[in-house]
Amino acid sequence: MVLDFLQDNKTELIFSVIIVTILLVIHYTLNFAVTKIAKKSGFNDARIRLIRRYIHVSLFFIGFLALAYIFGTDFKDLAVIFSSVFAVIGIGFVAVWSILSNITSGVIMFFNFPHKVGDKIKIHDSDFPMEGIIEDITAFQLHLRLDNGDLVTYPNNLMLQKPVTLIKKDAIASDAEAV
């Protein structure tokens, strides 16, 4: 029975091995590149793991689509399934669009944000101007320790919308050296 399956699906299995191998190479290459960029820029391990998870999930869905297509699933059937799933997900995300906005901003901030943990910054928000030291940058928000000791969580999407001034590079290390 197993031998019949292997004989009947030899071509599909060969293409599946090729696709999985290509996706694994892409996965490890992207993870290596993200780690190298992150270490060079001084990002913390939590942010590195978060971006790696995004890469992993994206490649999983690409692999699932490719394997379904290889084993003969009609493109129209895949389109119906995924459009139904994405419609339900889309309706759910309309209710929580700010979460998606913050996650997307977190990814953008990972690759293109000039400030990192330990920097003292000033956020020029017309309603709530703030000045403090960045303690953490998560998927959804930035943790900012104000001069009075309060911890403020500031959404990532607002960090990309508001002007931010760097007051002191790596203020935590500079304060420790002064002591």
Domain's final residue, options 30, 64, 95: 95
Between 97-111 and 75-95, two packed helices, what is the crossing angle to 10 degrees?
Answer: 100
pTM: 0.54
Which residues form the domain of 13? 2-95
How far apart (Å, rounded) are the C-alpha atoms in residues 14 and 8? 12
Q: Are 113 and 128 in contact (CB under 8 A)?
A: no
Domain co-membership, 90 together with 18 = yes
CB 31 within 8 A of CB 55: yes
Let me know: does 165 contact 130? Beta carbons within 8 Å: no
Same-domain check for residues 149 and 72: no
Same domain, 63 and 9: yes
User: Does a structural domain hold residue 102?
Assistant: no
* Domain total of the chain: 2
Decide if 48 is inside a domain. yes
- CATH code, 143: 2.30.30.520
Longest Cα separation, the chain = 74
* pLDDT tens, residue order, the chain (179 aa): 777 877 788 888 889 999 999 999 999 999 999 888 888 877 778 778 888 888 898 899 889 888 888 888 777 777 787 788 778 777 766 667 777 788 888 888 877 778 888 889 999 988 888 899 999 888 888 899 998 999 999 888 888 888 888 888 876 655 545 44
